[in-house]
Amino acid sequence: MMQKICIMGLGYIGLPTAIVAAEHGFEVVGFDIDIQRVERINNYDPVIQEPESIERLQPLIASGAFRATTILEAADCFLIAVPTPFKEDKKADVSYVIAATQAIAQVLKKDDVVIVESTVPVGLTDDCARLLEEKTGLKAGEDFFVAHCPERVLPGKIFFELVNNPRIIGGVNPESVTRTKLFYKQFVKGQLYLTNATTAEMVKLVENSSRDVAIAFANQVAAMAYATRLDPFEVIALANKHPRVNILNPSCGVGGHCIAVDPWFLVETFPEQSQLLQTARTVNDAKPLQVVSLTRSWIQEWQERNEGIPTVLVLGLTYKADVDDMRESPALAIAEKLQKYSDINLLVTEPNVAQTTLESLFNDAVVSLQEGIDCADIIICLVPHKQFKDIDHSATRNKKILDFCGLTYKPHVETSEQEALFWPANSLQSMTPFEPYKAGSIHKTIFDKEFF
């Protein structure tokens, strides 16, 4: 009978999973090597900024249904939710998963279940099973059971999606699937799809790689639109009026712990069959540098027309809208690059990240949204946070705005037969800040140089 659950790694996936499991009747212990993280969690601080985490964690700690520790204990089920970043050579760093597996081997007993939720290269779950066999002398699939069940949650909605999303359970053998299913059935309302471990591993990597390719196409559309003096957001919005076309919006790049990382796991394992994935990664990795180049051109144009040093405000530093996560964030990389230029006064505003964290990166360049708008000569839109969508248009009058995330775009709709709107493709007049783009009305300075 599966009663005690040990969650290995108490980050964005592990901690919410531990909370949900404890809420559904399991005795849950969370293991992490970070002493400060463990202490904070045991003192009712979830560390992560996920909505609902504080109010859901506190009663579980108070009642003893969940506790965090740096000392691994025996359990009936071990769930590995540690990071799997990539190294400088784009190879997967699986050392955290291997270390977690070796730790489990010290306390593993018969009938235990080991679940790998961390995103891993194809074949690693089987490798973990063999490592446990070597360390314990027990037989995987008979004496203990191993499966891969990749997480599929969206930051900001983790608690909802942990329960309601469908899950893929891939075991090293059928019995491992059956045993693992018993755990997830206790709290997952979504459909459970059963397969083998290597299929489950590839499914997760293919899901995120598909997104990466789609984003790369959108970024290529943006590059072509800029080169021909068109607004990429309008081009894509109108293309999407076709009933079978659904192009994503371009951005300042791809970040986060999944989409920017996972395709490289497939490239590493299947170098001859992954040319498209490699190209998409190259396109998306290059986007932040293109954004910096365009921004530098605009700064140069401002300097030619004005005296002094321009104040440049960066809106957003996280890898996507309305989260606090800056892992692999292209917006953060762009801001850090701009910070190195001595001919500008850089300001940054990021409403979703703690002030102390921001100040450790940008010192006194951190400002509130209103302070930044009041001081800025140039505003660079990188992340479309909801807080930025309510900016007073009058406050941005006479300020230059460069929008790489669609924050200011509004579609044009024909309101009568007489009001069909057309603009010459070579129109170069400046747009009004935070008002709808018109075809061909991107700032002239974007096209002063060839960037793509």
The CATH code of the domain that includes 108 is 3.40.50.720
Cβ proximity of 248 and 233 under 8 Å: no
Residue 282 shares a structural domain with residue 378: yes
Residue 130 shares a structural domain with residue 260: no
258 is catalytic: yes
Evaluated on CA atoms 422, 426, 432, 435, the torsion sign reads positive
Cβ proximity of 105 and 143 under 8 Å: no
What the block records as the tokens of 398 is: 């006479």
311 sits in which H/E element: strand 311-315
Residue 14 shares a structural domain with residue 129: yes
Identified catalytic residue from 77, 128, 252, 258: 258
Residue 46 shares a structural domain with residue 186: yes
Torsion of CA 351, 357, 363, 367, to 10 degrees: 10
Instruction: Note the Cα 397 to chain centre separation in Å.
Output: 33
Position 78 in a domain: yes
| 3-class secondary structure, 213 | helix
Q: Note down pLDDT in tens along the chain; length 452 residues.
A: 689 999 999 999 999 999 999 999 999 999 999 999 999 999 999 998 888 999 999 999 999 999 999 999 999 999 999 999 888 888 899 999 999 999 999 999 999 999 999 999 999 999 999 999 999 999 999 999 999 999 989 888 999 999 999 999 999 999 999 999 999 999 999 999 999 999 999 999 999 999 999 999 999 999 999 888 889 999 999 999 999 999 999 999 998 878 888 999 999 999 999 999 999 999 999 999 999 998 998 899 999 999 999 999 999 999 999 888 898 899 999 999 999 999 999 999 999 998 999 999 999 999 999 999 999 999 999 999 999 988 877 778 788 999 999 998 888 766 555 444 444 333 333 332 333 333 333 343 333 333 32
Residue 313 shares a structural domain with residue 408: yes
Instruction: Note the Cα 124 to chain centre separation in Å.
Output: 23
Cβ proximity of 368 and 345 under 8 Å: no
- What whole-number distance in Å separates Cα of residue 168 and Cα of residue 181? 10
- What whole-number distance in Å separates Cα of residue 165 and Cα of residue 182? 17
Identified catalytic residue from 204, 287, 400, 438: 204
What's the pLDDT at 104? 98
Position 209 in a domain: no
Exposure of 49 in the CB half-sphere (CA atoms within 13 A): 11
What's the pLDDT at 415? 55
Position 222 in a domain: no
In this structure, which amino acid lies at residue 35?
Answer: I
> DSSP states of 59-97 as a string?
HHHHHTSEEEESS----SEEEE-----B-TTS-B--HHH
The CA-based angle 185-189-190, given to 5 degrees, is 105
**Which residue, 411, 408, 409, is CA-closest to 421?**
411
What's the pLDDT at 414? 62
Cβ proximity of 81 and 151 under 8 Å: yes
Position 390 in a domain: yes
Residue 41 shares a structural domain with residue 106: yes
- What whole-number distance in Å separates Cα of residue 373 and Cα of residue 175? 60
Evaluated on CA atoms 340, 371, 363, 386, the torsion sign reads negative
What's the pLDDT at 319? 93
Position 197 in a domain: no
Q: Domain ends where: 134, 167, 190?
A: 190
Residue 151 shares a structural domain with residue 293: no
What's the pLDDT at 448? 35
Residue 170 shares a structural domain with residue 254: no
The CA-based angle 120-123-128, given to 5 degrees, is 80
204 is catalytic: yes
What's the pLDDT at 1? 67
Cβ proximity of 25 and 187 under 8 Å: no
- What whole-number distance in Å separates Cα of residue 76 and Cα of residue 5? 6
Residue 176 shares a structural domain with residue 234: no
Residue 291 shares a structural domain with residue 431: yes
Position 206 in a domain: no
What the block records as the tokens of 77 is: 């089920």
Q: Domain ends where: 168, 190, 212?
A: 190
What the block records as the tokens of 431 is: 């747009």
Residue 245 shares a structural domain with residue 343: yes
Q: Give how many domains the chain has, as a whole number.
A: 2
- What whole-number distance in Å separates Cα of residue 243 and Cα of residue 11? 40
Q: Domain ends where: 190, 217, 248?
A: 190
The CA-based angle 72-77-82, given to 5 degrees, is 60
Backbone φ, ψ for residue 347 (5° rounding): -125, 145
Position 80 in a domain: yes
Residue 186 shares a structural domain with residue 76: yes
**Which residue, 374, 400, 287, is CA-closest to 337?**
287
What the block records as the tokens of 341 is: 């230029």
212 sits in which H/E element: helix 197-227
Position 219 in a domain: no
Instruction: Note the Cα 296 to chain centre separation in Å.
Output: 27
**Full residue range of the structural domain in which residue 172 is found:** 4-190
Instruction: Note the Cα 93 to chain centre separation in Å.
Output: 18
